[in-house]
Amino acid sequence: MRPSGRAADQMRAITIEPGFTKHAEGSVLISFGDTRVLVTASIEERVPPFLRGKGEGWVTAEYGMLPRATHTRGNREAAKGKQSGRTQEIQRLIGRSLRAVCDMKLLGERQIVLDCDVIQADGGTRTASISGAWVALRLAIDGLMKEGKLTADPLTAQVAAVSCGIYEGMPVLDLDYIEDSNAHADANFVLLSDGNIAEAQATAEGATYDEEALLRLLRLARIGCNDIFAAQLKAVDR
């Protein structure tokens, strides 16, 4: 029995509020239950040095957590003077995930920065970030297309992510904080709407797992991502 009473393959409520802030070219407040992340997409008409002059674009991400997004207050990374290893690992994952569905030649020589800031945390902040970032990116690219700056759509598919894990011996979908703290294995899957996988990460915590468990977690992730894909489309009116 899950603490929340959810079925093993049941997502928390997904809400996606597009246009949450006004300055960004794309912005969204995404919630997976009590986890809430503000994602903005910022278009910059320049690319990182290693891409200059190649006619290709870039998509990158930054991630942060407000100090009191969590149960007890964490130190502010800006005050500590550095980003933790966890923060850097997450923002690298978000960037890779979104680049997996973006044709950089079609995007042209510009960069889109996805800022994912966790307003409230209850497990799954990185997967909510990825899922919300696709919406923000979609909105930003729609804007470029409306302005005529892009003629072909660089987005090749939807991408979404969800966490799964083995809680009290049972594979479950979309861990909340209580489950996450007690899970024996913790996995994050980044899946595409075309059925492919962009990233699979499954980590033993306390107890290791076998191949069958890995496959069951992946199947739960498909169920969850299908829900997220639907919510994404609704948010962008498609």
The residues of the shown chain that bind a copy of itself, judged by CB under 8 A, are 21-24, 27, 34, 36, 38, 40, 42, 44, 62, 64, 66-73, 76-89, 91-92, 96, 100, 113, 115, 117, 119-121, 192, 194-204, 208-211, 214-215, 218
Q: Whole-number minimum distance, CB 53 to a copy of itself, in Å? A: 19
Complex with a copy of itself: residue 151 or 212, whichever CB lies closer:
212
Complex with a copy of itself: residue 6 or 216, whichever CB lies closer:
216
Complex with a copy of itself: residue 41 or 235, whichever CB lies closer:
41
Q: Whole-number minimum distance, CB 131 to a copy of itself, in Å? A: 16
Q: Whole-number minimum distance, CB 64 to a copy of itself, in Å? A: 6
Complex with a copy of itself: residue 122 or 227, whichever CB lies closer:
122
78 contacts: CB under 8 Å, gap ≥ 6: none
Q: Whole-number minimum distance, CB 109 to a copy of itself, in Å? A: 18
Complex with a copy of itself: residue 80 or 234, whichever CB lies closer:
80
Q: Which helix (H) or strand (E) holds 234?
A: helix 211-235
Three-class SS state of 218: helix
Complex with a copy of itself: residue 170 or 207, whichever CB lies closer:
207
59 contacts: CB under 8 Å, gap ≥ 6: 95, 98, 99, 102, 104, 107, 111, 112, 114, 137
57 contacts: CB under 8 Å, gap ≥ 6: 47, 51, 102, 104, 105, 107, 108, 109, 110, 111, 112, 154
Query: Measured between alpha carbons, how far is 75 from 126 in angstroms, rounded to an integer?
Result: 19
Q: Whole-number minimum distance, CB 33 to a copy of itself, in Å? A: 11
Q: Whole-number minimum distance, CB 197 to a copy of itself, in Å? A: 6
Three-class SS state of 235: helix
Do the bridges between strand 111-120 and strand 35-44 make them parallel or antiparallel, or are there none, so unpaired?
Answer: antiparallel
Q: Rounded to the nearest 5°, which phi and psi values hold at 232?
A: -60, -45
